[in-house]
Structure 1
Amino acid sequence: MAAQKDRITAGQAIIKGDLWTKLSAVLMGAGLFGHGQKIKGFLVLLLEAAFIFYMASAGLTHLANLPGLGSLEAGEVYNEAKGIYEYTQGDNSLLMLLYGVVTLFVVAAFILLWILQMKKSYENQRMLEQGRHVNSFKEDLRSLLNGNLYMLLMTTPFLGILVFNIVPLVFMICMAFTSYSKEGNHLMLFDWNGLTQFARVLSMQGNIGRQFWHVLAWTIVWAFFATFLNYILGMILALIINRKDTKWKGFWRFCFVLSIAVPQFVSLMVMNTMLQPYGAVNVVLQNLGWIKEPIPFWTNAMLARITVIVINLWVGIPYTLLQITGILQNIPAELYEAAKMDGAGPVKTFFRITLPYMLFVTTPYLITSFVGNINNFNVIYLLSNGGPTYVGDTAGQTDLLVTWLYKLTIDQQYYNIGAVIGILTFVVLTIVTLVTYRNSGSYKNEEAFM
């Protein structure tokens, strides 16, 4: 029986390691090379050389620029030979921030590599001292297709998350602490300004803070109605169609699901056009004599909010209908037979069996739907474009946090404020999602309906 592995630390490797292991603290890979893993040691040494070259050629400069983010402004210099003014390039704070953040990740990766190779070197040393076999490079490669298959399969997704999610997220977080905005002409050259933008957004005094709390309140109201109305109405339709007495079940499901086949952005843009003051809906109603003036679907704030909620029902109910239908068809028939033998009627059976079962299964779906509706960019942007927008405001009356963030960054170029709103949205959604799910029956009692 193999002895249980002791936990090895880099500190132990430095203190208790042999000459090869201690040499690895300076010449990375030396311990691997000296303990029989020559190819792996050589590759680690190459990585150290690449890191030193990068830091010497560019990395140290990027780190040095990070605290100040540059100070040289672009200017004009008169060229007497050509008789014209030539522009001299100044510092680009955005690139300095980006390169600095990337360099910090490179340094962190190098430190992690240093720790891992120190621990591995000391582990190999102990194995040799105990007379145990140290895997060759070929044996390590073969293990990636056997015992260490998870490492092979998870490496690419992890790198993808690191490059496309974590690094941009850290870059955005850093941007929130700067003056990067068209305000004060800080698009090319900006500096750190601490929590200034957080104070502006969270304050009720300024225009930005007033808009933030207004948009946040509407975002929560929208997500609540968009999620639970879709769920309740989709559930009712699924129950009606799934009844034994309902004929042509397949036909009715086809009718409701047909809207899924049409690309969502096409449907939303068509609805936007139809509900314009001189769109098809207003023209038909006026021709019938039912209204005298066009209904302001998109210019009246309250009516615009009601309109986007109703249209979202038309878009979202078919998805709920399909999910609830699948759940209803998988509820054990024995539960209904037992309830019938106990004398339970349809209403009692629904509230004691059907509804709890559906809620148990669909709680994760409800949580993800709520989060998805908070970030439901397409429906709001393509239908109302966030409007109507009052004079002096950057956020419209139907803007969600995500559509307002888009306008602040792409249209208004208030990048620092947009970054603050992105951070606050991320924090709120993370807390709501984790707390809600961990307190749900789906998490606490996974085998409740097994």
Structure 2
Amino acid sequence: MKTTQQSVTKATLLSLISGLGQFYNKQYFKGSIFLSVFLLFLFEMFTFGFTALANFISLGTTPVVDNSLFMMIRGTLQIIVTLIFIFFYVLVISDARAIARRHQQGLKVNTVPKDNLRSLYEEGFPYLLTLPAYLLMIFVICFPVIVTVFIAFTNYDFQHITPFRLLDWVGFKNFLNLFVLASYRATFASVFSWTVIWTLLATTLQIVLGIITAVVVNQKFVKGQAFFRILFLLPWAVPAFITIMSFSNMFNDSIGAINAQVIPFINHLPFVNIDAISWKTDPFWTKTALIMIQGWLGFPYIYVMVTGVLQSIPEEMYEAAKIDGASPFQRFSKITLPMILFATAPVLITQYTFNFNNFSIIYLFNEGGPGSVGSGAGSTDILISWIYKLTTGTAPQYSVAAAVTLLISIIVISVSLIAFKKTNAFNNEEMM
């Protein structure tokens, strides 16, 4: 085909005003759309954008008249819109350069609007299909997260309630306070350590129970497997809210079924003498109860998942192991357990991340109590429930809560990525 003398450099320079590069490449329809978007963005910037960004930096100058929180939200929205336009701007320049090269090489270039639309449909259909979802994700998920990030760097607390008081940027002060101020340091250390213990023990318990019940029920010698499968699904079938509230009543120190009926019944056994346990007034026993309850609530899901894995393991593997003289424990440790972990590693990791932020059981059982470890946190509060109390108490500390939220996110994301990488979880699908 005949080549032209289109200049890639000239197309790039003209594209500094979006659309002109496409006009230079004789793609007038595409250039008109890009130029319209460019002019629309400029109009938005001069009518709203520059003011929003300036207010975002200053967070206002006059109390009551200026609402610092709204200014932050508008500024965040403007930052997102600007970043989206910058991405679009780079794509426009890249497109102009690519089309100029096609001209130089004598390749076909769609210059007719109908051909442009057909090419967009045929080559860009996946992008058109997913674009609304990405935009929705940006404004519904990313937007609130970014606002939370910015709040963590302000002094937003009960002494600075907008619009009556203005907010100020304080940098990393809130993060430093968690580790420097004695009150916050002690509370954060206590809550964080219990959060880790709770996550490890409760999740491991539900995983172990789920695997054991699935392995036992799926043995050929077990009669009435259908009955047991239904029985083990009951904790999962009942809404967790109802189960947690029921257990909260059962573990009541004075009139709960555990102290009033179960323990006296056990005491009838020979050489057994157990006193009533302070399930909801002693931090140790409250934590013990929480771990046991979560084991009960969480094991059915693991049970169902592991049951599916067990049914997919070829029977020939067990037969070969028997011929080689492997004991039942060896068959379990060398065949069953590796296959379970191989297939379920990503889900098991997510169980740990879920319990790290499992607010409902902590709050519904005893509202994070008993007692207090300072800064509004109870002795059984985990980080997520402490955040709730920081924002809903009589003296809310929104900025500190935002800082703790960011720390939680960093911890969960980092640990999850490390675990996924160490277990090679995402590559398992290619190997199966």
TM-score normalised according to structure 2 size: 0.89
The residue number in structure 1 matching 2:417 is 434
| Partner SS state of residue 66, structure 1 | helix
The residue number in structure 2 matching 1:39 is 29
Identity %: 35
| Partner SS state of residue 148, structure 1 | helix
The residue number in structure 1 matching 2:4 is none
Letter in 1 for 2:168: D
2:280 is the alignment partner of 1:298: yes
2:51 is aligned, of 58, 61, 64, to 61
2:86 is the alignment partner of 1:111: yes
2:235 is the alignment partner of 1:285: no
Q: What are the Cα deviations for residues 4-37 of structure 1, in whole angstroms up to 9, with x where unaligned?
A: xxxxxxxx95xx125xx533313x2122234333
CA RMSD of aligned residues (A): 2.6
Q: Per-residue deviation at 1:242?
A: 0.6
209-218 or 146-155, which moves further after superposition?
Answer: 146-155
The residue number in structure 1 matching 2:3 is none
CA distance in 1: counterparts of 2:44 and 2:80, whole angstroms: 13
CA distance in 2: counterparts of 1:48 and 1:219, whole angstroms: 49
The residue number in structure 2 matching 1:320 is 302
CA distance in 2: counterparts of 1:368 and 1:256, whole angstroms: 21
CA distance in 1: counterparts of 2:280 and 2:10, whole angstroms: 73
The residue number in structure 2 matching 1:73 is 63
The residue number in structure 1 matching 2:335 is 353
For residues 441 and 68 of structure 1, do their structure 2 counterparts lie closer, same or farther at Cα, with a shift above 3 Å needed? closer
Q: Per-residue deviation at 1:447?
A: 6.1
TM-score normalised according to structure 1 size: 0.85
1:247 is aligned, of 223, 236, 241, to 223
- Note if contact 1:143-1:149 (Cα within 8 Å) is conserved in structure 2: no
1:209 is aligned, of 185, 193, 198, to 185
- Note if contact 1:438-1:444 (Cα within 8 Å) is conserved in structure 2: no
2:239 is the alignment partner of 1:263: yes
CA distance in 2: counterparts of 1:182 and 1:249, whole angstroms: 58
1:17 is aligned, of 10, 20, 24, to 10
Letter in 1 for 2:52: H
1:94 is aligned, of 69, 84, 104, to 69
Q: What are the Cα deviations for residues 145-187 of structure 1, in whole angstroms up to 9, with x where unaligned?
A: 5443331233233223211222222221111111011146577
Q: Per-residue deviation at 1:372?
A: 0.8
Q: What are the Cα deviations for residues 262-310 of structure 1, in whole angstroms up to 9, with x where unaligned?
A: 2221222222233334554168439969799974322221111111111
CA distance in 2: counterparts of 1:148 and 1:321, whole angstroms: 43
The residue number in structure 1 matching 2:345 is 363
- Note if contact 1:200-1:208 (Cα within 8 Å) is conserved in structure 2: yes
Unaligned runs of 5+ in 1: 1-11, 75-89
2:40 is the alignment partner of 1:50: yes
| Partner SS state of residue 132, structure 1 | coil
The residue number in structure 1 matching 2:168 is 191
CA distance in 1: counterparts of 2:85 and 2:187, whole angstroms: 44
For residues 95 and 441 of structure 1, do their structure 2 counterparts lie closer, same or farther at Cα, with a shift above 3 Å needed? closer
Unaligned runs of 5+ in 2: 1-6, 268-272
CA distance in 2: counterparts of 1:320 and 1:365, whole angstroms: 9
The residue number in structure 1 matching 2:132 is 156
2:202 is aligned, of 210, 217, 226, to 226
Q: Per-residue deviation at 1:352?
A: 1.1
CA distance in 1: counterparts of 2:23 and 2:297, whole angstroms: 62
CA distance in 2: counterparts of 1:384 and 1:137, whole angstroms: 66
- Note if contact 1:286-1:293 (Cα within 8 Å) is conserved in structure 2: no
| Bigger fraction of residues in helix | 2
For residues 223 and 392 of structure 1, do their structure 2 counterparts lie closer, same or farther at Cα, with a shift above 3 Å needed? closer
Q: What are the Cα deviations for residues 90-143 of structure 1, in whole angstroms up to 9, with x where unaligned?
A: 211111111112212222222222222122123223323433222344444444
Q: What are the Cα deviations for residues 206-241 of structure 1, in whole angstroms up to 9, with x where unaligned?
A: 211211111111111111011111111111111111
- Note if contact 2:194-2:382 (Cα within 8 Å) is conserved in structure 1: yes
2:404 is the alignment partner of 1:421: yes
The residue number in structure 2 matching 1:176 is 152
- The size of the alignment, in residue pairs, is 417
2:382 is the alignment partner of 1:403: no
| Partner SS state of residue 439, structure 1 | helix
| Partner SS state of residue 371, structure 2 | coil
CA distance in 2: counterparts of 1:153 and 1:279, whole angstroms: 59
- Note if contact 1:176-1:420 (Cα within 8 Å) is conserved in structure 2: yes
| Partner SS state of residue 22, structure 1 | helix
- Note if contact 2:154-2:167 (Cα within 8 Å) is conserved in structure 1: yes
- Note if contact 2:263-2:276 (Cα within 8 Å) is conserved in structure 1: no
For residues 40 and 152 of structure 1, do their structure 2 counterparts lie closer, same or farther at Cα, with a shift above 3 Å needed? same
Letter in 2 for 1:431: S
2:260 is the alignment partner of 1:309: no
CA distance in 2: counterparts of 1:138 and 1:410, whole angstroms: 58
The residue number in structure 1 matching 2:98 is 123
92-101 or 164-173, which moves further after superposition?
Answer: 164-173
Letter in 2 for 1:41: G
CA distance in 1: counterparts of 2:329 and 2:63, whole angstroms: 74
Q: Per-residue deviation at 1:257?
A: 0.1
For residues 92 and 191 of structure 1, do their structure 2 counterparts lie closer, same or farther at Cα, with a shift above 3 Å needed? same
- Note if contact 1:23-1:31 (Cα within 8 Å) is conserved in structure 2: yes
